[in-house]
Amino acid sequence: MSKPNELPDELELLLPDMNGIPRGKTIASGSLTESDPPHLAEAIFFQTINGGYAGAMADFDPNDGDLLMYPDWSTYRQTPWKPGSIGQVICETKDQRGEPIAYDPRNVLKKVLQEYTDLGLTAIVAPEVELYLLNPVSSGDLAMSLAEGEAGQAEFGGEAFSPDALDKFSPVIQDIQAMCRDTRLELSAVVHEMGPAQIELNVAHGDAMSRADQLFLLKRLIKGCANRHNLLASFMAKPLGGLPGNGLHLHCSLLDGNGDNIFRLKRRKAPPALRHFIGGLQRYLPGAMALIAPNVNSYKRFVRDLSAPINLEWGYDNRTTGLRVPFSEASAGRVENRVAGADANPYLMIASMLACGLLGLRQNLEPNKPFAGDAYDLESTFPDDLGEALRVLELNDELIELLGRDFVDVFVSVKRAELRDYMKMITQWEVGYLGSAL
């Protein structure tokens, strides 16, 4: 897509960092030229969630140099939650030799998608992301609190799937919907989820890169819109104890060169291609858990009977399993990955699922038998914490080859730096129980 004929005076150039947080710069639109692309510190890819920098920066970017930013105009949107007229566009990144930055999460997804292109396949995905509407957080707060709806209407739970419960938050939800229409972000549904003040937004299905871009921009829009209403939209995996966490479910199918879905169901059963894809997820997704559950908090979401899976069983229309083949028309055959948290980087979440599935297709892996019961009755098979997940990722050579060794090294370095910072902190649990009892 070519550059728009008219741009607002100001333009935000965006990149996703390792955590999926938008980084970039605002420039005067008139200063943008093709011969001299904007620069930005490459260090953003080594930046941790707490503002520090990972040790891998000494190996990959010791000079703290610049990368080059090339706007992908297919991602151009307005920012209607901001005053004035400001545009935004996601950029492709290259180094000063003109090579793609290997540890840019968007480039990681591109690398995986190229493998599918080489096979004559197109990945089609549909993300569903959950969030809580909360009161803003101040420095020193020890807990988050649920936002109240219109006229102080509080929720106490038990209102899942209720349109009337959504109406309590209609000002912010209607703003989000209107802004999505104005910015061509393709919402297909808004649902009240299991928790009080918990909402799910579904992005219409489409090719994997465009859906990753839309989800990245959607999360930014939601947070900006909520802020206008003096609310915090939190995609934290487990922001509130005792309540369901926030998931990021991803539906996936594959089209061949004729546009036919190779996951098309046969007599409501998974065909070989879909079974092999699921077999790849079962074998390799444990090695990718750090990419889809990327924070210390992520592992608190995997609680029995609280709307998050605890293993990688698969089943037909079974929401207790980590991998679900939904009831659908045969032509819409697909698999839903229910494992990832809403805190996952959209690009890395999609890349990891497609990489694991691709390994299953290449190796003709068969999954175990579809599970028809309550998968919460089975044992949990997920890593206990982020540290264990990072160790498993580093041992997964086949997955690393698809994602890129440089990327995995940088990602692990960023996450280990965050873990070290976390271990310096004393939690409310430690103060309340250990401080007085020991």
Q: What's the mean per-residue pLDDT of the chain?
A: 95
What CA–CA distances, in Å, run from 212 to 20, 88, 123, 207, 344? Answer: 10, 16, 12, 9, 11
At 158 the pLDDT is 81
Name the more confident of 30 and 363: 363
Q: What is the token pair recorded at 297?
A: 């908090």
pLDDT digits (tens, 9 = 90+) for 148-202: 888 778 787 788 899 999 999 999 999 999 999 999 999 999 999 999 999 999 9
* Residue 17 pLDDT greater than 90, yes or no: yes
Calculate mean pLDDT across residues 74-83. 96
At 437 the pLDDT is 86
Q: Please tell me the distance from the alpha carbon of residue 38 to that of residue 348, in angstroms, as a whole number.
A: 25
At 22 the pLDDT is 98
Calculate mean pLDDT across residues 308-326. 97
**Residue 2 confidence class, pLDDT cut points 50, 70, 90:** confident
Name the more confident of 362 and 428: 362
At 35 the pLDDT is 83
Q: Please tell me the distance from the alpha carbon of residue 265 to that of residue 161, in angstroms, as a whole number.
A: 28
Q: Over pLDDT 90: what percentage of the chain?
A: 88
**Residue 314 confidence class, pLDDT cut points 50, 70, 90:** very high
pLDDT digits (tens, 9 = 90+) for 376-404: 999 999 999 999 999 999 999 999 999 99
Calculate mean pLDDT across residues 278-302. 97
At 152 the pLDDT is 79
Of 327, 346, 122, nearest to 213 by C-alpha is 346
179-184 contacts, C-beta under 8 A, 24 or more apart? 179/80, 179/81, 179/221, 179/225, 180/218, 180/221, 182/78, 182/80, 183/77, 183/78, 183/80, 183/217, 183/221, 184/77
pLDDT digits (tens, 9 = 90+) for 397-427: 999 999 999 999 999 999 999 999 999 999 8
**Residue 101 burial (10 A CB sphere; 0-12, 13-18, 19+):** buried
* Residue 99 pLDDT greater than 90, yes or no: yes
**Residue 52 confidence class, pLDDT cut points 50, 70, 90:** very high
pLDDT digits (tens, 9 = 90+) for 238-274: 999 999 999 999 999 999 999 999 999 999 999 999 9
At 65 the pLDDT is 94
At 85 the pLDDT is 87
State the pTM of this model. 0.96
Domains of the chain, CATH where assigned: 10-101 (3.10.20.70), 112-433 (3.30.590.10)
* Residue 33 pLDDT greater than 90, yes or no: no
Q: Over pLDDT 70: what percentage of the chain?
A: 100
